[in-house]
Amino acid sequence: MKHVDTVRVSGAVALTMLLLPQFAAAQQSPFDTGANSLVTFALAIATPIAILVVIGAAIAAAVGRISWGWVIGCIVGIAAIFGSPQIVAWIRGMFAV
């Protein structure tokens, strides 16, 4: 009788061990969830700010009171903010993280 119980317990443990990685993979990391929320929030705030920066740069360029270095800086900054998910994915792929 004990041999049958041992086989059942061993089978249950083996089944649990096989299913455990699937349960672990089903959960998302709290860091990923928080980071995604932060990126979404930052993009929501950055959108109107980027619009105002472009308008300000256009007005300053129209009256001839802006350095082209500022315009290039605005373009690079906007590209970095809105391209950050792709930049992070590229860097993570580069280092296989």
CB 74 within 8 A of CB 54: yes
For residue 56, give the nearest of 44, 70, 46, 42 by alpha carbon.
70
The SS3 of residue 96 is coil
pLDDT digit string, tens, across residues 31-83 = 778 888 888 899 999 999 999 999 999 999 999 998 989 999 999 999 999 99
The pLDDT assigned to 35 comes to 81
- Could you tell me which residues come within 8 angstroms of residue 80 by beta carbon, excluding any fewer than 6 positions away? 87
- For the chain, the domains span 30-94
CB 82 within 8 A of CB 50: yes
Based on C-alpha coordinates, what's the Rg of the chain? 27
C-beta neighbour count of 51 within 10 angstroms: 11
Q: Which residue has the higher pLDDT, 31 or 93?
A: 93
Long-range contacts made by residues 35-42, C-beta under 8 angstroms, separation at least 24? 39/84, 39/85, 42/81
